[in-house]
């Protein structure tokens, strides 16, 4: 049963990640990313981290990818035309990058094959339950937790400042002091 | 998840049938309630031709939707256009799996908690699946190749993600005294203490307003208002596809009402009654249905009473009023729980 | 039958390599960003797989932080795209190459 679920969602994740990278239309690539993220969330649940799976769906697909879609629609990014290549650079550079990626994957595969990975213990309640995760977060990892909170605040402020419309002609303009910034 | 009993497949199937049957029954009933209720509020008869009190009207509507001509715009982005109505149904029908509808019963030699998915993640699972509802709005508007649809869909999705924050924070405030995301635990807490709507009034009000905005119901239905944007993101959809959006809206109203009733009004439990076994299960289910029914009647009542918000007023309310209120509520509940009051 | 852990690790490696190839070769800025998110997810999957293998919670905690940092990075990166687009009216990386040699 677990094998069946793994095979289904792993195949789906691989297929949709290929679509993400290869499709010409950015909207379709983003939708495929949603599918990939959902499959990875299911795999998290299989690996005994149900909270991370749920958080992945809530944060990644529920917020981040929506942001992507909004930006794509705001900037009206068209899909690449038929005659233009979707890939930068000459064929040699692209082949080099893809070749390098394949070599890396083969090396990882080789390392895994040669190493003796120990057998999996059955899932313990300690690993899966929220209690352990939250206790670690608020006891041992409190400092990183607070720093990440600060980081998110800084990111929100920074993104708002960077993306807003620049003021029209500089400080001398007083025509619209209460201007609605859209 | 290992701490809960491993669900047997047949249990899951039966419970799923109960919950899905509930939601699927609510949709045609709501069609009738909406039309007769609005007529009552507006001092007119409403549909009364088909059957006694117009009770066959939903059936007629369904037949109409099935036989209507299906028009697809020629320049529409076909895969996205076709995917959107399906995506509208997914959040509504998947989120009900965490709602408990009765006490834990002992039957057939095993303990069966009466919730389809007895996962420890409970409410978080609900919120995460509900957040997927934004995609149907975005894809419907984008795929229709129509300016009104796009505008309506951008507004609707921005509204949805904004009010999701307030919704999540008010739900978190309920979870804090219970110390568990698992919804049967929340119901058990309310059986021993009082219903959460009394100590957490602010949170309840925030939840109520946010759930109106989440389901695009008046007073927050500018994205699909007939007089403003033709029909917003579902302008280009006809017949069965429009019916899917329609059904999705009612189903997500039901799911959010189930959640609100479970979090704030004791779910399937009655105040001083503790029934066990099959009787308890049946009474629990009927209680849940009754409470959800009251909640849906409130939805209809509010729709036909209030004027709709303008879009900038809507966003201002969500970000500048509801979000701070939800955060203050969360802090207050956390402090009260630490002090031992809750 | 339990799934051997190296299948998860191989899947994560494959996703990482697909994402890396995409990030290095695509011309559209948004596509590069999507590939980066894919790589981050592959790393998350590896971390959770090892956490399961070694029966410790450290991997899950790191994934928690990676999720938050990825969210922050996505927000800032997309804001930068919007700002660049306002100036150049394109996010084709073959045209935004002022600082290339």
Give contacts of A 111-170 with B, CB under 8 A: 123-125, 128-130
3-state helix, strand, coil in chain A (%, to 5): 70, 0, 30
Chains A and C touch (3+ CB pairs under 8 A): yes
pLDDT value of residue B61: 86
Residues B214-261: tens digit of each pLDDT: 988 878 887 776 556 566 777 777 778 888 888 898 999 999 999 999
User: Quick one: tokens of B170?
Assistant: 């008010």
3-state helix, strand, coil in chain C (%, to 5): 75, 5, 20
User: Quick one: tokens of B155?
Assistant: 């507004």
Mean pLDDT of B12-19: 91
pLDDT value of residue A180: 44
pLDDT value of residue B5: 45
Residue pair C21/A99 in contact by the 8 Å Cβ criterion: no
DSSP B133: G
pLDDT value of residue A84: 55
pLDDT value of residue A87: 63
Cβ neighbors of A161 (< 8 A, separation 6 or more) are: none
Residues B286-305: tens digit of each pLDDT: 999 999 999 999 999 998 89
Q: C5-88 adopts what CATH topology?
A: Helix Hairpins (1.10.287)
pLDDT value of residue A181: 43
pTM of the complete model: 0.90
Nearest to C57 among A47, A72, A127 (CB): A127
- Output B323 or A130, whichever has higher pLDDT: B323
In angstroms, rounded to a whole number, what is the distance separating the alpha carbons of residues B153 and B140? 7
Could A54 and B128 be called an inter-chain contact, meaning their C-beta atoms sit closer than 8 Å? yes
Contacts of C25 in chain A (CB under 8 A): 87-89, 93-94, 97-98
Using a CB–CB cutoff of 8 Å, tell me whether C10 touches chain A: yes
pLDDT value of residue A33: 96
Cβ neighbors of B243 (< 8 A, separation 6 or more) are: B62, B65
CB pairs under 8 A between A and C: 234
- Tell me the shortest Cα–Cα distance from A19 to chain B, in angstroms: 15
Residues A124-159: tens digit of each pLDDT: 777 788 888 888 889 999 999 999 999 999 999 999
Confidence band, pLDDT 50/70/90 cuts, at residue A173: very low
pLDDT value of residue B129: 93
In angstroms, rounded to a whole number, what is the distance separating the alpha carbons of residues B214 and B253? 9
Residues C41-88: tens digit of each pLDDT: 999 999 999 999 888 899 999 999 999 999 999 999 999 988 888 888
Instruction: Give percent of chain A with pLDDT exceeding 90.
Output: 45
Give contacts of C 62-81 with A, CB under 8 A: 63-65, 67-76, 78-81
Residues A12-66: tens digit of each pLDDT: 999 999 999 998 889 999 999 999 999 999 999 999 899 999 999 999 999 999 9
Q: Above 60 in pLDDT, residue A81? A: no
pLDDT value of residue B243: 86
Residues B136-184: tens digit of each pLDDT: 989 988 888 888 888 888 888 899 999 999 999 999 999 999 999 999 9
Mean pLDDT of B101-125: 87
């Amino acid at each position: 049963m677990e094998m069946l679920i793994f095979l289904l969602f792993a195949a789906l994740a691989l297929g949709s990640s290929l679509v993400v990278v290869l499709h010409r239309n950015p909207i379709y690539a983003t939708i495929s990313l949603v599918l990939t993220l959902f499959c990875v969330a299911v795999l998290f649940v299989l690996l005994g981290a149900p909270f991370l799976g749920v958080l992945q769906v809530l944060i990644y697909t529920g917020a981040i990818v929506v942001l992507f879609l909004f930006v794509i629609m705001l900037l009206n990014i068209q899909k690449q035309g038929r005659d233009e290549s979707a890939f930068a650079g000459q064929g040699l550079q692209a082949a080099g990058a893809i070749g390098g990626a394949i070599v890396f994957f083969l090396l990882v595969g080789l390392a895994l094959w040669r190493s003796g990975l120990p057998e999996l213990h059955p899932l313990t309640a300690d690993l899966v339950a929220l209690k352990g995760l939250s206790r670690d977060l608020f006891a041992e990892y409190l400092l990183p937790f607070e720093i990440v909170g600060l980081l998110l605040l800084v990111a929100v402020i920074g993104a708002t400042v960077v993306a807003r419309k620049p003021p029209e002609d500089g400080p001398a303009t007083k025509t619209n002091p209460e201007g609605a910034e859209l | 998840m290992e701490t809960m009993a491993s669900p047997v497949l047949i249990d899951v199937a039966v419970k799923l049938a109960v919950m899905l049957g509930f939601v699927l029954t609510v949709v045609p009933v709501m069609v009738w309630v909406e039309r007769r209720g609005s007529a009552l509020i507006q001092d007119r008869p409403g549909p009364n031709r088909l059957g006694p009190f117009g009770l066959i009207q939903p059936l007629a509507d369904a037949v109409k939707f099935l036989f209507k001509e299906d028009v697809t715009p020629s320049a529409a982005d076909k895969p996205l256009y076709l995917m959107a109505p399906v995506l509208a149904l997914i959040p509504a029908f998947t989120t009900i799996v965490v709602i408990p509808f009765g006490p834990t019963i002992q039957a057939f030699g095993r303990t069966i908690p009466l919730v389809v998915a007895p996962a420890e993640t409970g409410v978080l699972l609900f919120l995460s699946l509900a957040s997927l509802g934004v995609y149907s709005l975005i894809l419907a508007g984008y795929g229709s190749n129509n300016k009104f649809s796009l505008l309506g869909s951008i507004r609707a999705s921005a509204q949805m993600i904004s009010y999701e924050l307030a919704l999540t924070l008010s739900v978190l405030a309920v979870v804090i005294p219970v110390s568990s995301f698992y919804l049967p635990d929340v119901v058990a807490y309310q059986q021993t203490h009082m219903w959460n709507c009394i100590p957490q009034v602010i949170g309840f009000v925030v939840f109520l307003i946010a759930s109106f905005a989440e389901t695009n119901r008046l007073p927050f239905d500018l994205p699909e208002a007939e007089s403003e944007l033709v029909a917003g993101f579902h302008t280009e959809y006809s017949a069965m596809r429009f019916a899917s959006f329609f059904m999705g809206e009612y189903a997500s109203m039901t799911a959010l009402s189930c959640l609100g009733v479970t979090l704030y009004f004791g779910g399937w439990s009655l105040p001083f009654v503790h029934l066990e076994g099959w009787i308890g299960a049946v009474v629990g289910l009927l209680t849940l249905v009754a409470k959800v029914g009251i909640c849906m009647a409130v939805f209809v009542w509010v729709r036909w009473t209030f004027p709709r918000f303008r879009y900038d007023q809507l966003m201002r309310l969500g970000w500048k009023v509801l979000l701070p209120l939800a955060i203050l509520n969360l802090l207050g509940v956390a402090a009260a729980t630490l002090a031992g009051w809750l | 039958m339990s799934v051997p852990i190296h299948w998860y690790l191989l899947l994560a490696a494959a996703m990482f390599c697909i994402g890396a190839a995409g990030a290095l070769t695509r011309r559209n800025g948004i596509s590069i960003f999507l590939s980066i998110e894919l790589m981050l997810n592959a790393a998350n999957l590896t971390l959770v797989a090892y956490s399961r293998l070694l029966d410790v919670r450290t991997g899950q905690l790191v994934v928690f932080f990676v999720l938050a940092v990825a969210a922050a990075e996505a927000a800032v990166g997309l804001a930068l795209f919007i700002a660049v687009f306002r100036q150049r009216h394109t996010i084709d990386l073959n045209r935004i190459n002022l600082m290339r040699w």
